[in-house]
Structure 1
Amino acid sequence: MKALKKPLIALVLSLILMQASHQFSLRFDLTSDQRYSLSEATLTQLTNLDKPLRIDVFLTGDLPGLYREFRGELDVFLDQLEYATDKLIIQYNDPFEIGSNEAVVREMQQYGMSPEIVIENKDGQRNETMVFPWMIINYGDVSERVSLLSKQLGDTDRDKISRSIQQIEYLIMDGIGKVTRETKSAIAVLTSHKTSKNIKLADFLQSLRPYYNLASFDLKNPEISPEQSLTNLNRFKALIISNPNKAFTQTEKYILDQYSLQGGGILWLVNGVGIDRDSLFNSAGKAYGFPLELNLDDYFFNQGMRINKALVQDLYCAPIVLANGSANNTQFIPYPWSYYPLPKPESNLIGERIGPVLTQFASPIDILENTMNQSVLLQTSGFTKTAGVPVVVSLDQATEKIQPSGYDEPSKTLGLLTEGEQKSLFANRILPMKNANHLNKGKGKSILFSDGNLAENQLDKGAPLQLGYDKWTSNFYANKQLLMHAVHYLSGNLDGLLIRQKKWNLAYLDAQKIEAKGMLWKVMMLLSPLLIALGFGWLNQRGRSKHSGA
């Protein structure tokens, strides 16, 4: 009986622990970067779910190496979500189970989900695999497709997967936020002052709609008094002013001044130099640049910034595609175009992990001493030069040999955030309009980019293309990401931006060393357990021999 007592106790304790494990589930994240801990914003979002939320994942099937790793991290994150809420339903769907590759691609593209072609070279053979790194999130009658890849210009496959792994939480929670959002803040888009045409802003505004209610705003509407314009503008969280080409009056500046002091955020996309692009791309291939006078110098000066009336040229630039030859012999050749700088956003709440941004005929921003907090969002490389106005811009310059020695100026600021306590431009001055609630100071925030075309998408046969896509080179730039983050920041929608700040310490094996010494390590891993076992056996035998001899 005594012999059975200990095993029985061990069995009972095991059963008790198993039952307790079902009743009380505990998890501990022991990673230094807390990669397996959900952010507070994510937990709040999950707590607010009041009905089932279904996620259909299409990254499944026979996946290539890097994507298997990505899928593993995706599974871990989705498991965390399931642990945090009982409202989640996750379904994995292999698209290639429904038919041939062509039929699958055609059907998936109808839903806006394009495949990713993965090329692997292994043992001297080239293998092409098609994967769909997508998911669809369904909540009630609302659905949202989510791309799981975060791509940037010039990425290697490893860069792309690493960045996507780090942004899994942001990408998925952003999609969940779109389908669960019940109320939206209001954003105004200025339509007066010859700003960007609607079709040029189509993709940017369409991308903002899941987050905000958008409305056009006309500061020059003759049927509305200035007082009523200010009242109407104060209803909006933020105002977008894209590529104005008509000067602002004192009254209009006062309205913007008071709107900002009352907490409204303003996104300015303004050119310092006017370039007639139609003239540049006609048969002459030449255009003249003159200062663009918008009567905003004192307004920006009051906020500690000034747009310099000059054009920035940068060695790190995007290409421009020019036609060479005629008729059937025409060739389209890309040339580096220094008037199209490719700055990479600064690593802050707005620009974190964003790729290069395409700027066109931008001007340097001077940062002036001011009481407000100022943060650089965008700046050129350290190899730049500036061309003062008036300036002649000719397409022939693109074909000329670049002289790096001429790009000897330091980096230039192209994007600036100003926020905090500020003084009114009209403090201690005669006001241009009646305002019973006039403020001499207040807390405001503005973002200025010195490229009026930053938010404008290209057109193909009259239809808008995706913002950031260049149809001539097929390159994707990060304009939309940067501007979306800027609007989120100005409107106080910070949860997603804070989630993006989460950093993982990813460590990878050196592929070259693996290839060079892989066989050696395999042999060592195979023989090591055997050698260790033999060593312990020998020591054990020797110990027994000594004991028996004694």
Structure 2
Amino acid sequence: MTDSATSTPAVASSRKRADLLTFIAIVGGLLLLNFIGQRFFFRLDMTEEKRYTMSPATKTLLSELKQPVTVTVYLTGDFPPAFRRLEQAVRETLTEFQVYGGANLNFIFIDPSAAGSEAARNQFYASLFKKGLKPTNLGATENGKRVEKIIFPWAVVSMAGRDRNVLLLRGNQAAPPEVRLNQSIEGLEYELANTIRTLSPSLRKRMGVVMGHGELSNEQAGDMLGAWQQQYDVYRVDLSKVPDLRALDALVVAQPKTAYSEEEKFKLDQFITQGGRAMFFVDALRVDLDSVSRNGAALATPYDLNLDDLFFKYGVRLNQNLLLDLNSGQIPLVTGTEGNRPKIEPMPWQLYPLINRFSPHPITRNLDAVYLKFVGNIDTVKAVGIRKTMLMSTSRYTRTLPAPVPINFNDARLEPNPKLYQNSFQPVAYLLEGQFKSLYANRARPGTMQFQPDKSPNARPSRILVVSDGDFIRSELNPKTGKPLRLGFDRLANTEFANRELVLNATDYLLDETGLIAVRGKQITLRPLDKVKLAEQRRRWQLLNIGAPLALLGLFGAVRAWRRKRRYAEFATS
């Protein structure tokens, strides 16, 4: 009895000592992990597509911020689940930004509909309108019911007294709402990071817009020029008056109408082969709408721009034809009279294709439709070392008309014959990348006896965008003020197409050396639930979600009570 009695306290003391050592080890381990976590920063993204992992370009941008940045988000409020997903994605993205931006990056969420009275709410809405923040009516299906919500899918990025608006709801408007929301989420990192980059002080690149050959005027390309000037130094360049183009980083050729001389073409060639970036928006056929006859007829004839051999050397050929597409825009036509006034109605016009078929390239990924006018197709030809990427093409129902092409606006009144539209998916834009070989290699420079070597010592890789539509960056003019409207805005359809976004994406891709544009290639897989099974098994899963935690908690309590009872029973018997 004595040995048993004395051993019991010893055993208890030993177990207490073991429990104390275990407790000290746990606390010490937690303190050690906390110390390591403070000294060595890391984050672990367990998602399959790494949706929460910032790109190296974004991390570098945020970590090198020199001035405070504030992001004000108006996408918040009492939303259905589909809209809350986008709001939550914005919040998560900005939280991740804050990890790398530190104290220099802050964000706030403001609910535009949270005003105390209707008058105050309308006043706040009006203030957002003045800032250019337009509301969106987006629909979704929740629990078998159609839900629509007026939202402001915008954020405003502020830095050093300057503001930039960021549209958070992007993507293809023709896609289902769930897909469009997913496309918007995929683009959040790029949209926010790129806006911060444009506001950050940096060495501005220099862009030249060619003039002297009937190219688009400052008014006709006004919106695009204004958009470029926010980020770059933009100049008008007359090739006949400058010795070379070495002072520029990029060059834009927008709808020339007269031929380039050999000397001017030589300057273009040397600029590109020595690493200069270029964008060509060029028509192969001349369509002069000012010369339309009284019966609404005109004739599209080939241009002689003296650029065909240059494009051919670089790997593409602009064909002398026009494309008709059943997926098209509209033109206004007089269809009758109303009293003493002509009755004007919009009619489909197959010579104004709407392009909604894009490459998954960062320039065009998740892009909305773009609007083209009198466009021809592009073929590729052999060019060693040049990578060619088709960025966009027409729809399945396309027709090709070789030059010369008679054009009659009265054709819009006729019902098109789908059997004639068999030339599917005609390419209208290419991105060319690589080391371009000079057109003048092993030849004398035009107008001189200066021999050009096979490979220039100044040769550098370059990138070129070629679009077979000179009107692509032309803005419609406001008939009342004469000022250019936003690029891509169609007054007849009251719709803004994505021409502006595509050109800005292309400019970033050509000139941005940080690689931030590659973030647009980020892909998040949409994994929708089976809506039929969801409706049939909803009650079962609700009961499971409520009952399973309670059952597990009860089981844990029962096991814990049994173990305590058994443990103290051992002490009692010993």
TM-score by length of 2: 0.84
Inter-partner Cα distance in structure 1 for 2:380 and 2:143: 56
* Alignment CA distance shift 1:8-1:532 (3 Å): closer
Aligned residue pairs total: 535
Residue 92 of structure 1 and its aligned partner are, at CA, apart by 2.1
* Alignment CA distance shift 1:451-1:70 (3 Å): same
Paired letter, 2:431: L
Residue 332 of structure 1 and its aligned partner are, at CA, apart by 5.0
| 1:270 matched to 2:288 | no
Q: Superposed, which structure 2 residues align to 1:351-366 within 5 Å?
A: 351-366=364-379
Paired letter, 1:296: L
* Alignment CA distance shift 1:122-1:173 (3 Å): closer
Deviates more, 1:468-477 or 1:112-121: 112-121
* Alignment CA distance shift 1:66-1:332 (3 Å): farther
Inter-partner Cα distance in structure 2 for 1:95 and 1:435: 69
Inter-partner Cα distance in structure 2 for 1:104 and 1:64: 22
Residue 41 of structure 1 and its aligned partner are, at CA, apart by 0.3
Identity level (%): 27
* Alignment CA distance shift 1:438-1:139 (3 Å): farther
Greater C-alpha Rg: 2
| 1:454 matched to 2:438 | no
In the other structure, the counterpart of 1:50 is 66
* Alignment CA distance shift 1:410-1:112 (3 Å): closer
1:115-138 deviation line (CA, Å, top 9, x unaligned): 222446768977653222222222
Query: Contact 2:140–2:177 at 8 Å: present in 1 too?
Result: no
Query: Contact 1:257–1:425 at 8 Å: present in 2 too?
Result: yes
Query: Contact 1:415–1:450 at 8 Å: present in 2 too?
Result: yes
1:461-512 deviation line (CA, Å, top 9, x unaligned): 2222211121111233221222222222332445232111121223122345
Paired letter, 1:92: F
In the other structure, the counterpart of 1:414 is 428
Q: Superposed, which structure 2 residues align to 1:53-64 within 5 Å?
A: 53-64=69-80
Q: Superposed, which structure 2 residues align to 1:76-115 within 5 Å?
A: 76-84=92-100, 85-98=102-115, 100=118, 101-115=121-135
Inter-partner Cα distance in structure 2 for 1:187 and 1:335: 39
1:385-406 deviation line (CA, Å, top 9, x unaligned): 2112222111222221221111
Residue 266 of structure 1 and its aligned partner are, at CA, apart by 1.7
Give the secondary-structure state (helix, strand or coil) at the position aligned to 1:427.
Answer: coil
Give the secondary-structure state (helix, strand or coil) at the position aligned to 1:287.
Answer: strand
Query: Contact 1:153–1:475 at 8 Å: present in 2 too?
Result: no
* Alignment CA distance shift 1:437-1:35 (3 Å): farther
Inter-partner Cα distance in structure 2 for 1:76 and 1:435: 63
Query: Contact 1:488–1:494 at 8 Å: present in 2 too?
Result: no
| 1:293 matched to 2:304 | yes
In the other structure, the counterpart of 1:543 is none
In the other structure, the counterpart of 2:246 is 234
Unaligned runs of 5+ in 2: 1-11, 561-574
* Alignment CA distance shift 1:251-1:26 (3 Å): closer
Cα RMSD after superposing both structures: 3.3
Paired letter, 1:389: A
Inter-partner Cα distance in structure 2 for 1:512 and 1:181: 53
Residue 408 of structure 1 and its aligned partner are, at CA, apart by 1.9
Inter-partner Cα distance in structure 2 for 1:445 and 1:12: 60
Inter-partner Cα distance in structure 1 for 2:291 and 2:474: 19
Query: Contact 1:258–1:438 at 8 Å: present in 2 too?
Result: no
Query: Contact 2:299–2:404 at 8 Å: present in 1 too?
Result: yes
| 1:190 matched to 2:204 | no
* Alignment CA distance shift 1:64-1:525 (3 Å): closer
1:388-440 deviation line (CA, Å, top 9, x unaligned): 22221112222212211111224322112233233322233332245979554
Give the secondary-structure state (helix, strand or coil) at the position aligned to 2:230.
Answer: coil
Residue 520 of structure 1 and its aligned partner are, at CA, apart by 4.9
Paired letter, 2:108: Q
* Alignment CA distance shift 1:46-1:536 (3 Å): closer
Inter-partner Cα distance in structure 1 for 2:273 and 2:194: 30
Paired letter, 2:363: I
